[in-house]
Homo-oligomer: A and B are copies of this chain.
Amino acid sequence: MREAPHLTFDLDAPGVSRGHLLVPGGADRGELSLPVFSLNKGEGPRLLVTGGNHGNELEGPLVARRLIEWLPEEQTCGRIIVVPVLNPLAVEAWSRNTPLDGLNLNRVFPGRADGSVTERIADAVSRVLLPTADTVFDLHSFGPTWHFPPAATTHPIADPDLMARTVRMAEAFNLPLTLVWEYNDTAGMFDILAQNQGKVFVCTEFGGGTVGADNLAIYEAGVRNALIALGLVEGKADYPTFRQQKSGQTLETHPCDDLRSPARGIFEPRCSVLDEVKQGDLIGILHPMDSISTESMDIRAPGTSFVLAIRSGVHVEINEGVALVAGPLKI
Contacts and interface: CB of A to CB of B under 8 A. Distances in A.
Interface of A: 18, 20, 33, 35-37, 55, 58-59, 61-62, 65, 68-69, 84-85, 88, 91-92, 94, 144-147, 208-214, 216, 266, 268-272, 287, 289-293, 296, 310, 312-315
4 shortest interchain CB distances as A-B pairs: A209-B210, A211-B313, A58-B313, A35-B292
A85 to B, nearest CB: 5
26 contacts: A18-B292, A18-B293, A20-B291, A33-B290, A35-B290, A35-B291, A36-B292, A55-B315, A58-B266, A58-B312, A58-B315, A59-B313, A61-B287, A62-B268, A84-B292, A91-B266, A91-B289, A92-B315, A94-B315, A144-B144, A146-B210, A147-B210, A147-B212, A209-B209, A213-B270, A213-B271
B211 A287 contact: no
Contact of A216 (B58, B296, B313): B313
Contact of A312 (B36, B210, B296, B314): B210
Contacts of A314: 58, 94, 211
Contacts of A20: 291
Q: Give the copy number.
A: 2
B85 A289 contact: yes
A131 B291 CA distance: 23
Given A55-B315, A61-B287, A214-B272, 9 more contacts: A35-B289, A35-B292, A58-B312, A58-B313, A58-B314, A69-B296, A210-B210, A210-B312, A213-B271
A296 B65 contact: yes
Nearest to A66: B268
B94 A287 contact: no
Nearest to A217: B270
A287 B62 contact: yes
A55 to B, nearest CB: 8
